[in-house]
Amino acid sequence: MKFATKAIHAGQEPDPTTGAIMTPIYQTSTYVQESPGKHKGYAYARGKNPTRVALEKCIASLENAKHGLCFSSGMGASDAIIRLLRPGDEVIATDDLYGGSYRMFEKMFTPFGIKFRYVDMTNAASIAQHINEKTKMLWVETPTNPLMKIIDIAACAKIAKEKKIMLVVDNTFASPFLQNPLELGADIVMHSVTKYLGGHSDVIMGATCTNNDSIQEQLAFTLNACGANPGPMDCFFVLRGIKTLHIRMERHCYNGRVIAEFLKQHPKVDKVYWPGFPDHANHEIAKKQMKDFGGMISFTTKGNSMEEAFRVASAVKVFSLAESLGGVESLLGHPASMTHASIPKAEREKSGVVDSLLRLSVGIEDVDDLVADLKQALG
């Protein structure tokens, strides 16, 4: 089946008892057993829930994956992935990383003896020099947050295969509509489902997808053992959200293009980060591995002042000043003080997250209203 059909149908069958076309919300904590151990495949809802199973199958199918698993948040999914490692292991992660991932790596796992190194992965060939015998995982985000750098997934997969280490791709920014990392050779894809998959800013959730049975088994064990499982109501909301993922993504991409081009010619704007520009450093790789360029854009203003960034952030009326991304409504964020505040100033500035940087999650409103809003806010 093609993407749009899978988005609407994958993992979902009419309810066998009533014929209900929508997967019921199995709001239950446990399941009655006929005799000890004799049940219908469901014993306790931390381990498995039918609404969640439908969603896991749906997300796996969008990533062309054999297995999917849903977690109570994107961080819950990432946490389970890092728990595949052991003390002494090392991870090489992209230097332009979601701040929450950096915080978890540094504050939660470094004290347990896992070492993280942050490197610029935009030239994939340079990654190999950082790999040693302790390296067990490459952690890639592409497009990166917030600078929209593009990392060549297939090239990373080649290195990971040669060195026999795992490649994890955080596919939150692209969504499975734009990019399927497993097909490019990744071992695990993770999503903050909270974003494009959910799409309506009403659910926190995470997911992993893999083709590897052993990885799936270990992740499912962690999910059940540690308990970062999402509730069935949230799974229902995401199943519903995904039904329009393809239509939403087309509009996000269209609006994103118009806004990126508007910002590029604005006299007060300095740099615009969007992988669709032919002069973007890795535009050719973006073209190769993504279907389109998405609705995430970052920009700086001339003079690089925090005050000016705060002024613009407070002046928008259709865009809302808020963390998060990927919903139908347009959001604007100030990474240095919001999503990336947990990264030390020197560290974040080294990777380009300067004081005037603003990040847009372009929604699916009428693009004329979005352009007019930015125009009045920039002044």
Ligand X SMILES: Cc1ncc(COP(=O)(O)O)c(C=O)c1O
Which of 74, 294, 295, 327 binds ligand X (CB under 6 A)? It is: 74
Q: How far is residue 110's CA from residue 127's CA, in Å, rounded to a whole number?
A: 21
CB 135 within 8 A of CB 162: no
- Restricted to residues 195-254, the positions that interact with ligand X (CB under 6 A) are 204, 206
Residue 100 or 294: the one with the smaller Cβ distance to ligand X is 100
CA dihedral for 174, 64, 102, 320, sign (positive or negative): positive
Q: How many residues bind ligand X (CB under 6 A)?
A: 15
The residue nearest ligand X at its CB is 74
CB 160 within 8 A of CB 212: no
Q: How far is residue 127's CA from residue 143's CA, in Å, rounded to a whole number?
A: 17
Q: How far is residue 45's CA from residue 240's CA, in Å, rounded to a whole number?
A: 21
Contact window for ligand X (CB under 6 A) among 98-106, 259-267, 276-284, 314-322: 98-106
46 is catalytic: yes
Q: How far is residue 111's CA from residue 106's CA, in Å, rounded to a whole number?
A: 8
Contact window for ligand X (CB under 6 A) among 94-102, 263-271, 349-357, 364-372: 94-102
Q: How far is residue 175's CA from residue 159's CA, in Å, rounded to a whole number?
A: 24
136 is catalytic: no
212 burial level (CB within 10 Å; 0-12, 13-18, 19+): middle
Q: Which of 79, 170, 234, 373 is catalytic?
A: 170
122 lies in the binding site for ligand X (CB under 6 A): no
192 lies in the binding site for ligand X (CB under 6 A): yes
356 lies in the binding site for ligand X (CB under 6 A): no
Residue 114 or 378: the one with the smaller Cβ distance to ligand X is 114
Residue 73 or 229: the one with the smaller Cβ distance to ligand X is 73
Shortest Cβ 128–ligand X spacing (Å): 25
Q: Which of 31, 42, 46, 311 is catalytic?
A: 46
Shortest Cβ 321–ligand X spacing (Å): 15
Which of 145, 330, 356, 361 binds ligand X (CB under 6 A)? It is: 145
Which of 98, 105, 237, 293 binds ligand X (CB under 6 A)? It is: 98
According to DSSP, residue 149 is labeled -
Residue 62 or 378: the one with the smaller Cβ distance to ligand X is 62
141 lies in the binding site for ligand X (CB under 6 A): yes
Shortest Cβ 205–ligand X spacing (Å): 6
CB 58 within 8 A of CB 243: no
Residue 89 or 323: the one with the smaller Cβ distance to ligand X is 323
Q: Which of 6, 26, 95, 98 is catalytic?
A: 98
Question: Structure tokens of 242?
Answer: 């995904």
CA dihedral for 348, 352, 356, 362, sign (positive or negative): negative
Shortest Cβ 195–ligand X spacing (Å): 6
Which of 11, 50, 68, 100 binds ligand X (CB under 6 A)? It is: 100
The helix (H) or strand (E) run that includes residue 81 is helix 74-82
- Restricted to residues 171-190, the positions that interact with ligand X (CB under 6 A) are 172-173
195 is catalytic: yes
Residue 50 or 100: the one with the smaller Cβ distance to ligand X is 100
102 lies in the binding site for ligand X (CB under 6 A): no
359 is catalytic: no
| Cβ atoms within 10 Å of 135's Cβ, excluding its own | 20
357 burial level (CB within 10 Å; 0-12, 13-18, 19+): buried
87 burial level (CB within 10 Å; 0-12, 13-18, 19+): exposed
Question: Structure tokens of 37?
Answer: 């151990």
CA dihedral for 304, 306, 309, 311, sign (positive or negative): negative
Q: What Cα–Cα distance (Å) separates residue 235 from each residue in 37, 170, 188, 296?
A: 26, 20, 21, 25
Which of 62, 75, 223, 353 binds ligand X (CB under 6 A)? It is: 75
Contact window for ligand X (CB under 6 A) among 57-65, 69-77, 111-119, 120-128: 69-77
| Cβ atoms within 10 Å of 214's Cβ, excluding its own | 9
Kindly list the residues in this chain that would bind ligand X in the complex (CB under 6 A). 73-75, 98, 100-101, 141, 145, 170, 172-173, 192, 194, 204, 206
- What residues are labeled active site? 46, 98, 170, 195
